[in-house]
A and B are shown apart, each in its own frame.
Chain A
Amino acid sequence: MSARRTGRLGRLTASLRTARVKPLVPFITAGYPDEPTFDRVLAAIAAAGCPLVEIGIPFSDPVADGPVIQAASQKVLARGMTLARTLALAATAHRDHGLDVVMMGYLNPILKFGPARFAATCGESSVAGVIVPDLPPEEAAGLRELLAARDVDLVDLVAPTTDPARLVRKVEQATGFLYLVSTTGVTGSGTAAADTLPDYLTRVRATTDLPLYVGFGIATPQQAGQVAALADGVIVGSALLRTLTGDRDGAVAAATEFLHEMAQAVTSAKGTSR
């Protein structure tokens, strides 16, 4: 376990824990709904006190995503969003808004871009971590190494279906944080199951002292607060994208208010995480 080399994301989540900060981590598809609005939403994320943002790399066939993130991907792709541009937006998020960035994207665009070039560009763009939902640990060693060489963590996902033996093998190589998928399902669907979550988190905590960040289906401040009482971080995606409708000022205002309420619910949660 001590051989594990932590990158930028690992150092960041460790310092957040030391400071007893449980972050709300908003997810937004790169350039959604358009680039100027996207930039203002990044500002709102920073203003809500969130240290981290997850930026989605759009893909034509996102099998782990529900309708909201699918539609967001389609929309930005139709406007010509590319992986190169997504990485440039990530660099901007860090430089202009002081946000640390976790990239979330499917494997094929990364393969096409070239994994080594992707890792290098992540490094140059101050990206802290990368999540690839269709790359299980069995296939991940190559990309993990390329990213690690650039001080970037590859984030591992754990699902409610992950059995104990698999969990133990997973946490051995994981760095940054563990992404706990709250329920079986796609993003934005169902709701994080409040009744099974405590057992689930206890089970995972017994195997690792990595920070546990929970995502998928967290839509309301009440849910966010419940999850924050148990976890080290709370990830919200589809519910944020859903606020981004109507004219630009209205969309930004709605997102700002939503982020504020969510962040407040997360910060004021009382709980037992480490």
Chain B
Amino acid sequence: MNTSSIFAGDGPGRFGPYGGQFVPETLMPCLHELTATWEAARRDPDFNTELAALLADYSGRPTPLYRARRFERSCGDTARIYLKREDLNHTGAHKINNCLGQILLAQRMGKRRIVAETGAGQHGVATATVCALVGLECTVYMGEVDMARQAPNVRRMKLLGATVECVTSGARTLKDASSEAIRDWVTNVATTHYIIGSVVGPHPYPAMVRDFQAVIGIEARQQVLDRAGRLPDAVIACVGGGSNAIGIFAGFIADPVDLFGVEAGGSAAGHSAALGLGEPGVLHGSFSYLLQDDDGQIIPAHSVAAGLDYPGVGPEHSHLKDTGRVQYGSVNDSEALAAFSDLSRLEGIIPALESSHAIAWCRRLLDDPAAVARLREHAGDEQPVVVINLSGRGDKDMDNNGGES
């Protein structure tokens, strides 16, 4: 039977049938408080001015749009390729856009303490950073496997004054770190705000985090219009929980632009393609595609990129998949690792392994005659234009890149 039909479907925070608020009762009042605080803040000019100033002066926005000519050439000169340089944000990834927004909300709610989960450590570093900025106590949950493969980010979080809690349950990766962060939050909800790092979790997180990340797409749209003189033909982003993808898609969703979300295809050991190979269910507070077995138990994900190594995905992506507005595909670990070294050598830009999935997809797209034909048709008489969201930098991946050095 259609499992979604047992829900009201028109409850708060729905994207088609997806989303909702599936959390223990203890957390429900605080989700309502967060929703009210966010809704008041987004209409408050003071809040928006304060956030805009931090994004500019503290994080360095707007981030550049860079044309990657040598990478273009290596892809056969079939398209103009622009990289949205989220790697040039303070702390090195798009995660800070969301953290700055949420830390201001935490202050408005009078919270004293912040918890977060992290996979790649980028969200953990961004959370530790904004906590240092405003002087709040910070605890970050991170799986033992991820602490080993993203060690530089563990050291950064500690230097920034955060407590890093090592999670040893389950697969010891992002899923388990998320569960532990929720358990902490349930226990300390009176004093603590949970800064979720992607467009996942119960309402209002998926919509709220999207709004904080939409700055990526709003900037990119204007930049590509200025530089190329027209809208792009395709926009590509990697999808873990889906926040950098939703953020850049937000700028183009109403335009006739092909949108591509790239999941982690992993290896023989497993994958993280919740949209490609999963089915709808409930994990960590929302109804969305996820990896599960025949008995509804969650199957651990796998990816060389810790930030994509998650068996779920944001509910808005599930809806965008079903409606067909976004096309989702995956690239495997070795394709991503090849893109990691490619971009480093061709452009002098070391991409995060997560972002390398989007780079690899672009190469795959431009290698495919049918896809190129479609881009050309879309572009009319002009050379096709592709924008890739370079969600983060790869310094953290220096020890975890499959033997490159």
Contact residues of A with B, CB < 8 Å?
59-64, 66, 70, 77, 82-83, 106-117, 133-136, 138-139, 141-143, 146, 157-163, 166, 181, 184-186, 189-190
A61 proximity list for chain B (CB < 8 A): 170, 175-176, 179, 283-284, 298
In the complex, what residue of chain B is closest to A59 when comparing beta carbons? B297
30 A-B contacts (beta carbon < 8 Å): A59-B297, A63-B179, A63-B186, A64-B183, A64-B186, A77-B297, A83-B296, A106-B282, A107-B282, A108-B281, A108-B292, A109-B295, A110-B296, A111-B6, A111-B282, A113-B296, A114-B1, A136-B25, A136-B28, A138-B8, A138-B11, A138-B28, A139-B11, A141-B8, A161-B29, A161-B189, A184-B26, A184-B190, A185-B186, A185-B187
Q: How far is the CA of A9 from the CA of B190 in the complex (A)?
A: 33
In the complex, what residue of chain A is closest to B298 when comparing beta carbons? A60
B284 proximity list for chain A (CB < 8 A): 61, 63
A116 proximity list for chain B (CB < 8 A): 1
Judging by beta carbons under 8 Å apart, are B23 and A134 in contact? yes
Cβ-neighbour of B30 out of A114, A115, A136, A161 (below 8 A): A161
Q: How far is the CA of A143 from the CA of B29 in the complex (A)?
A: 22
Judging by beta carbons under 8 Å apart, are B295 and A181 in contact? no
Q: How far is the CA of A208 from the CA of B298 in the complex (A)?
A: 38
Judging by beta carbons under 8 Å apart, are B283 and A184 in contact? no
Contact residues of B with A, CB < 8 Å?
1, 3, 5-8, 11-12, 20-30, 169-170, 175-176, 179, 182-183, 186-190, 281-285, 292, 294-298
Q: Number of residue pairs across A and B with beta carbons under 8 Å? A: 133
Q: Which 4 A-B pairs have the closest CB atoms?
A: A112-B296, A142-B6, A109-B296, A159-B26
Cβ-neighbour of B25 out of A59, A110, A112, A162 (below 8 A): A162
Judging by beta carbons under 8 Å apart, are A136 and B21 in contact? yes
Judging by beta carbons under 8 Å apart, are B22 and A139 in contact? yes
Cβ-neighbour of A143 out of B6, B170, B294, B297 (below 8 A): B6
Judging by beta carbons under 8 Å apart, are A146 and B297 in contact? no
Q: How far is the CA of A267 from the CA of B139 in the complex (A)?
A: 43
A109 proximity list for chain B (CB < 8 A): 295-297
Judging by beta carbons under 8 Å apart, are A133 and B187 in contact? no
What's the least CB distance linking B29 to chain A, in Å? Answer: 5
Q: How far is the CA of A142 from the CA of B20 in the complex (A)?
A: 14
In the complex, what residue of chain A is closest to B26 when comparing beta carbons? A159
A181 proximity list for chain B (CB < 8 A): 24-26
In the complex, what residue of chain B is closest to A170 when comparing beta carbons? B25
Q: How far is the CA of A62 from the CA of B29 in the complex (A)?
A: 20
Q: How far is the CA of A109 from the CA of B28 in the complex (A)?
A: 22
Judging by beta carbons under 8 Å apart, are A134 and B24 in contact? yes
Q: How far is the CA of A77 from the CA of B295 in the complex (A)?
A: 10
Judging by beta carbons under 8 Å apart, are B183 and A139 in contact? no
In the complex, what residue of chain B is closest to A113 when comparing beta carbons? B296
What's the least CB distance linking A19 to chain B, in Å? Answer: 29
Judging by beta carbons under 8 Å apart, are A107 and B186 in contact? no
A146 proximity list for chain B (CB < 8 A): 6
Q: How far is the CA of A203 from the CA of B12 in the complex (A)?
A: 28
In the complex, what residue of chain A is closest to B285 when comparing beta carbons? A134
